[in-house]
């Protein structure tokens, strides 16, 4: 194999591959990226046995072939090469070495035979549809903060993507929760997605997918089966196993009878919460919200470190209410608001609170209160 490729193009392809590779693994070949050159394209394939990413990119292929080389090391080398350099990769299969040349730099890297590289079994996808990058970015970005990190409740370690019935008919919905907070984001249902089975997309896949969604104009081809999900652009294909488990019935925890309504400028609210939470103890990080007519007092009282208080002008016309929350959860939820105003709907100091952006019901957040 002998190929020449521009540094920036190579860096983009290798960086996507190396981020999938697990840093700590017992199988040496899984630390490698499979490089396959044919025609005028080179593909870079990496896997951790749960996720596989394939990045196809144009290159000058003088001699077709394939090899595998350590992904992190190749990425580090390419990253440190000067901008605009033309990089040449030459594989010597007999010696088990890949030579990387750029300008006056030459690197000889150990390779492993391509036959040892595990390729994900192809599967039949029961549902195939196309969705805009902007739509998918909103669905996953706004929900991923609520993904659980508890390994014991593995079925919460991802975003539940499924078809649901919204206020105006069927929607494509993403839900994530960790038992303390919940995010439910809806988008118009793309054509062809009506029969899609509900799948739990793992956290790592959600983070890798994010890298495919930077181009606002891009259309992503989404394929879903009971066990796998695939997201593809013309250059990059990301295939992932889905979490094998049943996502709990989240509709039961979304309150419908909350009537006490607080409207507040989301950015101001987030900054105020952040300020008063500075003195809270690391462990509890509890912030108390005291609501009265058109005023909100945020306060923290940490016996070992001090106290803080801040008042905000808000729109609130119901009876007095005191309720406590984890400051981190409030900040994460408030930072999801794109428009100016966040609307909080309370019931009592012991019941879950609902938050949405203005009157928009396509993004709904639920947060559990704390005792303060």
- Directed axis angle between helix 266-277 and helix 327-334, to 10°? 160
What contacts 188, CB < 8 A, 6 or more positions away?
A: 135, 171, 172
Length of the chain: 372
pLDDT at 355 over 80: yes
Query: Could you tell me the end-to-end alpha-carbon distance of the chain, in angstroms, rounded to an integer?
Result: 66
Q: What is the pLDDT of residue 323?
A: 96
The C-alpha R_g of the chain, in whole angstroms, comes to 25
pLDDT digits (tens, 9 = 90+) for 276-300: 999 987 766 899 999 999 999 999 9
Token pair, residue 5, equals: 């490729």
Sequence-separated (6 or more) residues with CB below 8 Å from residue 83: 7, 8
- Token digits for 118? 């595990």
Contact 325, 334 (CB under 8 A): no
Handedness of CA 135, 138, 141, 143 (dihedral sign): negative
Question: What pLDDT does 283 receive?
Answer: 67
pLDDT on residue 371: 84
Contact 333, 365 (CB under 8 A): yes
Residue 166, pLDDT above cutoff 90 = no
What pLDDT was estimated at residue 215? 87
Mean pLDDT of 312-326: 95
Whether the predicted pLDDT of 358 surpasses 90:
no
Which three-class secondary structure state does DSSP give residue 155? Answer: helix
State what percent of residues in the chain have pLDDT above 90: 86
Please say whether the beta carbons of 18 and 75 come within 8 A.
yes
The arithmetic mean of pLDDT across residues 181-206, rounded, is 96
User: Tens digit of pLDDT for each residue in 234-276?
Assistant: 999 999 999 999 999 999 999 999 999 999 999 999 999 999 9
Mean pLDDT of 351-370: 93
- The chain-wide mean pLDDT, for the chain, equals 94
Q: Is the pLDDT of residue 25 over 90?
A: no
CA-CA distance, 367 to 346, in Å (whole number)? 10
Entry pTM? 0.92
Helix axes 71-80, 7-20, angle to 10 degrees: 150
**Nearest CA-CA partner of 286 in 182, 365, 180, 357:** 180
pLDDT tens digits for 70-129?
999 999 999 999 999 999 999 998 999 999 999 999 999 999 999 999 988 888 999 999
pLDDT at 302: 85
Q: Please say whether the beta carbons of 286 and 273 come within 8 A.
A: no
Predicted pLDDT of residue 192: 93
Tokens of 327: 């400051």
Q: Which helix (H) or strand (E) holds 268?
A: helix 266-277
**Pairing mode of beta strands 32-38, 41-47:** antiparallel
Counting Cα atoms < 13 Å in the Cβ hemisphere of 254 gives 17
- 226-241 burial: b if 16+ Cβ within 10 Å, else e: eebbbbbbebbbbbbb
Three-state DSSP class for residue 10: helix
The mean pLDDT value for 123-146 works out to: 95
Which sign, positive or negative, has the C-alpha torsion 154, 155, 156, 162? positive
């Amino acid at each position: 194999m002998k190929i020449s490729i521009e540094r920036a193009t190579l860096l983009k392809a290798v960086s996507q591959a190396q981020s999938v590779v697990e840093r700590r693994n017992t199988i040496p070949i899984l630390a490698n990226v499979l490089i396959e050159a044919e025609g005028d394209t080179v593909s870079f394939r990496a896997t951790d046995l749960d996720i596989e990413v394939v990045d196809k990119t144009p290159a000058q292929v003088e001699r077709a072939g394939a090899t595998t080389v350590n992904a992190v090391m190749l990425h580090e080398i390419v990253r440190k090469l000067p901008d605009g350099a033309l990089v040449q990769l030459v594989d010597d299969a007999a010696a088990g070495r890949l030579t990387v040349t750029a300008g006056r730099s030459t690197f000889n890297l150990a390779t492993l035979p391509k036959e040892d590289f595990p390729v994900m079994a192809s599967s039949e996808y029961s549902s195939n549809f196309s969705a805009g990058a902007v739509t998918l970015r909103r669905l996953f970005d706004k929900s991923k903060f609520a993904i659980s990190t508890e390994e014991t409740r593995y079925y919460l370690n991802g975003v539940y993507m499924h078809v649901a019935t919204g206020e105006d008919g069927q929607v494509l919905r993403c839900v994530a929760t960790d038992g303390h907070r919940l995010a439910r984001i809806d988008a118009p249902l793309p054509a062809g997605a009506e029969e899609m089975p509900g799948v739990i997309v793992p956290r790592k896949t959600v983070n890798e997918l994010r890298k495919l969604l930077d181009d606002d104009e891009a259309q992503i081809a989404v394929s879903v089966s009971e066990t796998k999900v695939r997201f593809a652009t013309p250059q990059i294909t990301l295939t992932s196993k889905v979490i094998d488990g049943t996502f709990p019935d989240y509709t039961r925890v979304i309150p419908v009878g909350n009537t006490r309504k607080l409207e507040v400028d989301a950015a101001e609210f987030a900054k105020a919460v952040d300020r008063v939470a500075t003195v809270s103890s690391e462990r509890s990080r509890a912030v108390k919200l005291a609501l009265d007519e058109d005023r909100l007092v945020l306060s923290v009282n940490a016996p070992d470190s001090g106290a803080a208080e801040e008042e905000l002008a808000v729109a609130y016309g119901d009876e007095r209410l005191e309720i406590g929350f984890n400051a981190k959860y409030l900040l994460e939820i408030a930072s999801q608001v794109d428009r100016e105003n966040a609307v909080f709907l309370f019931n009592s100091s012991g019941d879950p609170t609902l938050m949405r952006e203005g009157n928009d019901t396509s993004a709904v957040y639920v947060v559990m209160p704390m005792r303060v």
